[in-house]
Chain A
Amino acid sequence: MRKSGLSDRSFDTINVLLLIVISLICILPFLQIVAGSFATQQELMEKKFVLIPEVYSLDAYRFIFSDITIPKSMMISVFITVCGTIINLVFTSITAFALARRGLRGRRFIMFLIVFTLLFDGGMIPAYLVVKELGLINTYWAVMIPNAISAFNLILMRNFFMSLPEELFESAKIDGCNDLKTFIQIVIPLSMASMATFMLFYAVNHWNNFMMPFLYLNTPDMWPVQIWLRQIIIMATADFGDFGASIEIPSQSLRMATIVVATLPILLVYPFIQKHFVKGVMIGSVKG
């Protein structure tokens, strides 16, 4: 007994230590960025790694917010994220529900088409051509409509809907519900947890999206925050070759502050949805 107690305890200790180390590895780089964004340029240049700045400075943030560009682009990001996520959720859930119902004819074929897109992707230029021909270039639709349904999320959601007992639908039908009413009054309330999860998936995707706004939005006034962020970061890392001579590289603290500003809002969404998270993802895969 005692022996097993000891091995239990040592196992626990090792486990805890290991997890602490792993979580530190995950958290430290981010902490360094947050700390660095408050440090002075001088300190960052002398010490490579700063966790607690000796002198706090808000210069980097002052610089970011001295200009309307970043705050405005953040509002655009919020707008794209909110509208885009609503579109995603509406389209994904109604499609998933339809495909989960056994009565739908040609269900397998439609599923095949959807799974097919998971494996084969047209690529950047065909996608651009489609968006262009639809006349969506330089509109916010271009960043919200083309990826309205993620095939992967659709499959997860469909699995979840299929795990709902058939009897539920039958009794709803007996009580006089048609399909739509069943969906809205019974299925949606039951699936709030997984909806919250998918909402987070989609929202993070929209917030972090760089390539689509970059390709489809031509007016700088319309750019979301990620495009500006990437520019500030890339100026420091990329070799401009012959152009470097006259271009001022943003200071390290400014780069870090921009990362913080661009990441923080979406990070703040996590705590509110986190409680649904595990439940939401697991629920679809485990039947019964």
Chain B
Amino acid sequence: MLKKTKKASVILLSLVLLCVVVLSGCAGNENGNGADSNAVDSNGSSATDGKKDDAPEATKSLEPIKVTALQPYWGALPDMDGSLFKYIEKSMNVEFETEFVFGPNFMDKVNVALASGNLPHMLYIFDGKQPSIVTAIRAGAFWELDGKLEKYPNLMAGKDKIRDENIKVDGKTYQIYIPEAISRQGMNMRQDWLDNLGLQKPTTIDELYNVLRAFTQDDPDRNGKNDTIGLAQRLHAGVPVGFPILLAKFGAPNGYEVKDNKFIPAFTTEAYRETMRFFKKLYDEGIMNQDFSYLQRTQGEELIQNGKAGVQISNVDEKLLWNPLLDSNPNASIVSLSYLEGPTGNHLFTSKGYWVTIAFPKSTVKTEEELDRLLAALDLMAAPEQKEFFMLGIEGEHYKKDNGNISIVKNVEAELVSLRMFAPDAFEPIAPPGTPKHIEDMYDVLSENETSNNLVNNPAASIISKTAIELGGELDKMIQDATVKYIMGEVNDQQFDEVIEKWKSSGGVKMLEEFEAEYNKK
């Protein structure tokens, strides 16, 4: 009996041991990783220790500060041991512990961080006006930056009235933004097709229609087959990608129009109806793709890359979009434009004008001195002399300069995309040297837009309304669906009016009232 229980305990022991071995296997691996990060830490601190020994007090201000950040990235994950990242750390005199999160998942992670209070020194935010962020701001989670930025000339240089207004919460600034084009609206089209048909680049809506029609019916690629369409479209934010652009050209307001302190939604205007009719005509005549309502982004883009469609109306600077076409068809060439005269002139809608924002949580950045050090470090990166770095990389490694002539050694543009988030400087659309002609064209259109005196801003962009947060998405969807159905002929004018009435009664009127109240406070 006794023996047997002993045997059982031997088995029990060995089972436990097995578990321990297996688990410690896991632990070992973990420690391996942990050790790596520790090694970085200890290296850092030992280096600073060394400095301390040499000159205890004087160099104290030269020690790199440790900064944690939560940052999104797109495309390739930035290499934190690579020379580009090291350059930024060195220039800012900062030791970053950045957590990079893939763009589309990023806000999930931010919300978890906010809810758990596990915040970094620098919190990057997409769309700084979304409910969770506004709630956090109102609860006092972030430093207010008004009156603090003035000390930093480079940070101030990037500031701009429309953008500043767009990022304010309750009239105050809590976030630094990394700016992007104020309006990316425009279009690209096939220059070779225009040439084949003896047409000119359109300057009015009617001319645009003629080009689109000819691209569909007059065999622009000269292959003897009727296999092309004018316009490639897909849905973005619920409506065809080109819709807001033509909406601007037809003279509709950007979201809302303020008349006598009253907000008038764009979709109740005649210009909106005109735009829908224009798209309906394109749809009915087969000038745009019939399957636009369910195409995914890549599918919509393939129409252009296959040489099936000749015009893309959307963001003008989609640089990589045309590459597959230009690679496979040496005759293809494209032209970009944003100028198009509508019934009331050439208008452009502004977007929010910034890319991402940075907020500084009070729970991690404890004192104003710490905040100042962070801002000073960012100011260094926003300096004009850094522009070349963010465009081309490091001199000698990624590009060479010869009497002012720049030659590219290694193109690191893709890697620099996410690193530009370290530079809250002014937005200047300048094409890097060595850029192909058609991409230079796109940059030209962007800078043309930047200084256009026909920019139409959205008066509701800087207003936070409770109803808009709660119901805004649903209300928008109602109109978007009706718009798409109108274009496809499933909803007529009268039914569209009914949808507007429904919009008003399901919270729309309340939202407008809140907008008006906030707007008139200013």
A contact set with B: CB distance below 8 Å: 41-42, 45-46, 79, 83, 86-87, 90, 124-125, 128-129, 132, 137, 139-141, 144, 176-178, 180-181, 184-185, 214-215, 218-222, 227, 230-231, 234-249, 252
Closest CB-CB distance, B119 to chain A, in whole Å?
12
* B282-298 with Cβ < 8 A to chain A: 296-298
Give the CA-CA distance A252 to B296 in the complex, in Å: 13
Q: Are B414 and A242 in contact (CB under 8 A)?
A: no
Residue in chain A with minimal CB distance to B236: A239
Give the CA-CA distance A221 to B8 in the complex, in Å: 42
Residue in chain B with minimal CB distance to A69: B77
Residue in chain A with minimal CB distance to B100: A220
B contact set with A: CB distance below 8 Å: 1, 4-5, 7-8, 11-12, 15, 19, 22-23, 25-26, 29-30, 33-34, 36-37, 74-75, 77, 99-100, 102-105, 108-109, 111-112, 115-116, 118, 180, 184, 236, 296-298, 302, 305-306, 315, 317-320, 324, 328, 351, 355, 413-414, 417
- The 10 A-B pairs at the shortest CB distance, nearest first, are namely A181-B8, A176-B4, A125-B115, A247-B75, A245-B317, A218-B99, A83-B26, A238-B104, A246-B417, A247-B74
Task: Please name 15 pairs of A and B residues whose Cβ atoms are closer than 8 Å in the assembled complex, sorted by A.
Answer: A128-B115, A132-B118, A137-B118, A140-B29, A176-B5, A185-B11, A218-B99, A236-B298, A237-B296, A239-B236, A240-B103, A243-B74, A248-B75, A248-B320, A252-B298
Closest CB-CB distance, B222 to chain A, in whole Å?
20
Q: Which of B33, B351, B417 contacts A222 (CB 8 A)?
A: B33
Closest CB-CB distance, A213 to chain B, in whole Å?
12
Task: Tell whether A243 pairs with B355 under 8 Å between CB atoms, given A45-B305, A178-B5, A220-B77.
Answer: yes
Residues on A with C-beta less than 8 A from B417 are 243, 246-247
Closest CB-CB distance, A111 to chain B, in whole Å?
25
Q: Are B8 and A177 in contact (CB under 8 A)?
A: yes
Q: Are A124 and B112 in contact (CB under 8 A)?
A: yes
Main secondary structure on B side of the interface with A: helix
Residue in chain A with minimal CB distance to B79: A220
Give the CA-CA distance A141 to B115 in the complex, in Å: 22
Main secondary structure on A side of the interface with B: helix
Q: Are B74 and A240 in contact (CB under 8 A)?
A: yes
Q: Are A242 and B315 in contact (CB under 8 A)?
A: yes
Q: Are A246 and B414 in contact (CB under 8 A)?
A: yes
Task: Tell whether A246 pairs with B100 under 8 Å between CB atoms, given A181-B11, A237-B297.
Answer: no
Give the CA-CA distance A128 to B502 in the complex, in Å: 41
Residue of B12, B15, B75 with most chain A CB atoms under a 10 A cut-off: B75
Residue in chain A with minimal CB distance to B305: A45
Residue of B34, B102, B111, B236 with most chain A CB atoms under a 10 A cut-off: B102
Q: Are A180 and B11 in contact (CB under 8 A)?
A: yes
Q: Which of A215, A237, A248 contacts B109 (CB 8 A)?
A: A215
Q: How many A-B residue pairs have CB under 8 A?
A: 129
Give the CA-CA distance A213 to B397 in the complex, in Å: 36
Task: Tell whether A46 pairs with B306 under 8 Å between CB atoms, given A83-B26, A219-B33.
Answer: yes
Residue of A234, A245, A252 with most chain B CB atoms under a 10 A cut-off: A245
Closest CB-CB distance, A224 to chain B, in whole Å?
13
Residue in chain A with minimal CB distance to B416: A246
Residue in chain A with minimal CB distance to B118: A132
Closest CB-CB distance, A127 to chain B, in whole Å?
10
Closest CB-CB distance, B236 to chain A, in whole Å?
6
Closest CB-CB distance, B277 to chain A, in whole Å?
26
Residues on B with C-beta less than 8 A from A219 are 33, 37
Q: Are B319 and A245 in contact (CB under 8 A)?
A: yes
Residue in chain B with minimal CB distance to A131: B116
Give the CA-CA distance A190 to B25 in the complex, in Å: 29
Residue in chain B with minimal CB distance to A227: B102
Give the CA-CA distance A86 to B317 in the complex, in Å: 52
Residues on B with C-beta less than 8 A from A184 are 8, 11-12, 15
Closest CB-CB distance, A120 to chain B, in whole Å?
19
Residues on A with C-beta less than 8 A from B184 are 242, 245
Closest CB-CB distance, A193 to chain B, in whole Å?
21
Residue in chain B with minimal CB distance to A248: B320
Residues on A with C-beta less than 8 A from B351 are 242
Task: Tell whether A215 pairs with B306 under 8 Å between CB atoms, given A90-B19, A221-B33.
Answer: no
Residue in chain B with minimal CB distance to A86: B22
Residues on B with C-beta less than 8 A from A176 are 1, 4-5
Residues on B with C-beta less than 8 A from A139 are 30, 34
Give the CA-CA distance A124 to B324 in the complex, in Å: 41
Residues on A with C-beta less than 8 A from B318 are 244-245
Q: Which of A42, A140, A144, A180 contacts B12 (CB 8 A)?
A: A180
Task: Tell whether A234 pairs with B315 under 8 Å between CB atoms, given A242-B355, A246-B413.
Answer: no
Give the CA-CA distance A73 to B236 in the complex, in Å: 34
Q: Are B324 and A45 in contact (CB under 8 A)?
A: yes
Residues on A with C-beta less than 8 A from B15 are 184
Give the CA-CA distance A218 to B102 in the complex, in Å: 11
Give the CA-CA distance A237 to B112 in the complex, in Å: 24
Closest CB-CB distance, A30 to chain B, in whole Å?
20
Residues on A with C-beta less than 8 A from B306 are 45-46
Residue in chain B with minimal CB distance to A76: B29
Q: Are B26 and A141 in contact (CB under 8 A)?
A: yes
Closest CB-CB distance, A83 to chain B, in whole Å?
5
Q: Which of B74, B180, B298, B302 contacts A237 (CB 8 A)?
A: B298
Q: Are B414 and A249 in contact (CB under 8 A)?
A: no
Residues on A with C-beta less than 8 A from B11 are 180-181, 184-185
